Amino acid sequence: MKRNALTRQIARALPFPVGVTAFWSVLLILLCLFLMILSTLRPQYFESMRTGLSDQFAPALSIISLPFENVSVFFSDVQDIAGLRAEAERLEAENARLREWYHIALLLESENKSLRELLNLKADPKYDYVSARIIAGAGQNFVKSVLIGAGAADGLTKGDTALSGEGLIGRLVEVGENSARILLLDDINSRVPILVEDTLIHAIMRGTNTDSPELIHFPRDSEIPEGARIITSGHGGGYPPGLPVGRVVTAESGKKTVDLFADMDRLRFVRILKLQTKKAPYANVLVPMKDEDPQEEKHTEPINSETGETQP
Amino acid sequence: MTANPYMPGEKTGFVLAYILLSMLFLVNAQAPSVLSIGGAGTPFLLMGIYYWSVYRPTLVPLWLVFVLGLLLDLLSGSPVGLNTAVFVATRWLVTDQRLFLMGQSFMIVWLGFVFVCGIAVSSQWIIYGALKMLWSASETIPATIALGAVLFPPVSVFLHATHQLLPSGSGSYKPQR
């Protein structure tokens, strides 16, 4: 009661007298504005809170998602039944084409291998996959991100790449113990260095919160052909090179946009790419010279750059 | 030992009302793709806050609205405070106008929600764009309003049924259908 009386007195003392509810509402809205600015400028302040909450709510969200997923599967099945005959014919034709490609791929693989051996080329790092189910977030309004039911306990780390069956979908931006958040390619904050296949034109793909991200930062005099395939360039190290992304489409405004291979509205399961062997964090640091400190000599052992373990 | 001020059935009404509000929160946080159009989600929690702000504001005190908004922001990955500010403002403004709204037919209350939903999603779009200095696709606004308008009647059926179980108290009003 005393607190209410105090609030009423403060509210009346203001240059523009307001009611108690209005006073608290305005105060909370101002607090929200402060939090918005803080979370935009310093998102890391809220990261542990977000991941902790996601871990706590993951089981409930997972249960809630099941009936919606079943409804989604039902509608998708109904659509599939309608076009089953046409789909079978298309698949038969595709299968015949793929069989031809399979033989070409085998030939190219052996040729590639012998050429690599000839050049003594450093092999690309190997990757492991972790498959996970999407438990929340496909239909958010302004943020294009999804929550998956796998996290650090499954070996996932921040920055890992996420793929669907068709192609790249984004990467992990928050990783909790049992859940992780993927920032999707179509989010307004997403930037991916890409390569236009065949033309070797480099560009950046920027999310626009629509189904079609746009291409920016490519040479002005370059001509990007309509329908050209887009893959990740691997520049900057954020994404591994060569992952399929989508095809180039020219919008009515003349902007080059990308028709993504992955259907972001129908994501159910994702694959997370993670390096098989992580590089040791200090693998590139020089080991101190042996004659600098005789006391240190016993403890100074070279570090194996592959495993990160010290070698006796 | 203090006596229970509510009848057993009335207490069930309160429990059901909060369970329903929690469900609306979870479905909003889960944001199922089957209930979205062109990347726009359905504002389920806004429906609950709007309905109770009109008919039973004591059920959704400001602090509860603030906490629910914060939890939703943290879970959905959006800037912290974006949904919260909209929920607090909705609760404040709708409570202010409830004397007009609560005696009206369902059609007027429904139109009121569509109006509130439009203001809410437009202000979110403006604030988000200003924060990021990038303007996302504005098609999200009409899509969200359309989803809110279509799904408010079925959701309000559950809210109304729960409301019938609540005891009549100060500041409460039971709409007649």
Average pLDDT taken over every residue of chain A: 81
- Dist. CA B110–CA B104, nearest whole Å: 10
For B63-72, give one letter per residue: b (16+ CB within 10 A) or e. Answer: ebbbebbbbb
Pick among A20, A27, A28 to test the B interface (most B CBs inside 10 A) = A28
Smallest CA–CA separation between B62 and chain A, in Å?
A: 7
pLDDT at residue B5 greater than cutoff 60: no
pLDDT (0 to 100) of residue A297: 41
A138, A239: one domain: yes
Number of domains in chain B: 1
Q: Within a 13 Å sphere around the CA of A115, how many CA atoms are in the beta-carbon half?
A: 6
Could you give phi then psi for residue B155, rounded to 5 degrees?
A: -65, -40
Residues in B closer than 8 angstroms to A25, CB to CB, are 62, 88-89, 91-92
Give the residue numbers spanning the domain of B55: 8-29+38-165
pLDDT of residue A300: 42
Confidence of residue A278 (pLDDT cuts 50, 70, 90): very low
Contacts of A289 (CB under 8 A, 6+ apart): none
Q: Work out the pLDDT band at A21, boundaries 50, 70, 90.
A: confident
Within 10 angstroms of residue A306's Cβ, the number of other Cβ atoms is 11
| Residue from A61, A142, A253, A265 whose CB has the most chain B CBs within 10 Å, to mutate | A142
Q: Regarding predicted confidence, which is higher, A35 or B12? A: A35
Is the Cβ–Cβ distance between A125 and A275 less than 8 Å? Answer: yes
| Lookup: tokens for B103 | 């005696």
Q: What is the pLDDT of residue A49?
A: 92
Query: Based on the domain organization, do A241 and A141 belong to the same domain?
Result: yes
Measure CB to CB from residue B39 to each of A57, A69, A209 and give the nearest one.
Answer: A209
pLDDT at A279: 46
Residues of A in contact with B144 (CB under 8 A): 141
Q: Provide the Cα torsion A271, A276, A278, A284; round to 10°.
A: -130
For position A293, what pLDDT does the model report? 46
- A141 and A98 belong to one structural domain: no
Last residue of a domain, one of A123, A138, A156: A123
pLDDT in tens, A95-151: 988 988 988 888 888 888 888 778 877 766 677 889 999 988 766 778 889 999 999
Residue A290 lies in a domain: no
pLDDT at A197: 84
Q: Does B151 touch chain A (CB under 8 A)?
A: no
**CB contact residues (below 8 A), chain B span 83-122, against chain A:** 84-85, 88-89, 91-92, 95-96, 121
For residue B36, which residues of chain A lie inside 8 Å, CB to CB? Answer: 138-139, 265
Residues A154 and A270 both lie in one domain: yes
Query: Which of B158, B134, B124, B148 minimizes the C-alpha distance to B46?
Result: B148
Tens digits of per-residue pLDDT, B63-118? 999 999 999 999 988 899 999 999 999 999 999 988 888 888 999 999 999 999 99
Judged by a CB distance cut-off of 8 A, whether residue A31 touches chain B is yes
Q: Is the pLDDT of residue A5 over 60?
A: yes
Q: Three-state SS for B12? A: helix
Say if residue A151 is in the same domain as residue A108: no
pLDDT at position B176: 53
Number of residues in chain A? 312
**What is the reported pLDDT for A306?**
46
Mean pLDDT in residue range B123-151: 89
Please judge whether B124 and A33 are an interchain contact, meaning their C-beta atoms are less than 8 angstroms apart.
Answer: no
In a domain, A309, yes or no: no
The CATH code of the domain that includes B137 is: 1.10.1760
Average pLDDT estimate for A192-202: 88
pLDDT at residue A189 in the model: 87
Q: A58 or A81, which is more confident?
A: A58
Any CB–CB contact under 8 A between A160 and chain B? no
**ipTM value for the complex:** 0.87
Q: Is A33 on the interface with B (CB under 8 A)?
A: yes
pLDDT at A276: 58
pLDDT of residue B7: 59
For residue B31, the distance in angstroms to the closest alpha carbon of chain A comes to 5
Counting one residue from A and one from B, how many pairs have CB atoms under 8 Å apart? 158
Query: Are A46 and A35 within 8 A, CB to CB?
Result: no
- In this structure, the answer to whether residues A248 and A136 fall within a common structural domain is yes
Q: How far apart are the two ends of chain B, measured CA to CA in Å?
A: 40
Question: Are residues A46 and B74, on separate chains, in Cβ contact within 8 Å?
Answer: yes
> Does the distance separating the beta carbons of B78 and A50 come in below 8 Å?
no
Q: Which domain holds residue A203?
A: 126-277
Task: Write the single-letter amino acid at A218.
Answer: F
Residue B134 in domain:
yes
CA dist., res. B126 & res. B119, Å (int) = 11
Contact yes or no for B88/B46 (Cβ under 8 A): no
Across chain B, mean pLDDT equals 87
Identify the band that residue A301 occupies on the pLDDT scale cut at 50, 70 and 90.
very low
Cβ(A176)–Cβ(A52) below 8 Å: yes
> How would residue A291 be classed by pLDDT, with cut points 50, 70 and 90?
very low
**HEC secondary structure over A73-97:** HHHHHHHHHHCHHHHHHHHHHHHHH
Which pairs with CB-CB distance under 8 Å and at least 24 residues apart come from A75-83?
A75/B34, A76/A266
A142 domain-assigned? yes
Q: Do A151 and A236 sit in the same domain of this protein? A: yes
The verdict on A81 and A206 lying in the same domain is no
Return the top range by mean pLDDT from A288-292, A305-309, B156-160: B156-160
pLDDT at A248 over 60: yes
User: Stretch A268-292: mean pLDDT, rounded?
Assistant: 58
The CATH number assigned to the domain holding A214 equals 2.40.10.340
**Whether residues A155 and A170 fall in one domain:** yes
Q: Which of A283-287, B56-60, B81-85 has the lowest mean pLDDT?
A: A283-287
Q: Which residue has the higher pLDDT, A200 or A134?
A: A134
pTM for the structure as a whole: 0.78
Confidence grade of residue B137 (pLDDT, cut at 50, 70, 90): confident
- Residue A252, pLDDT > 70, answer yes
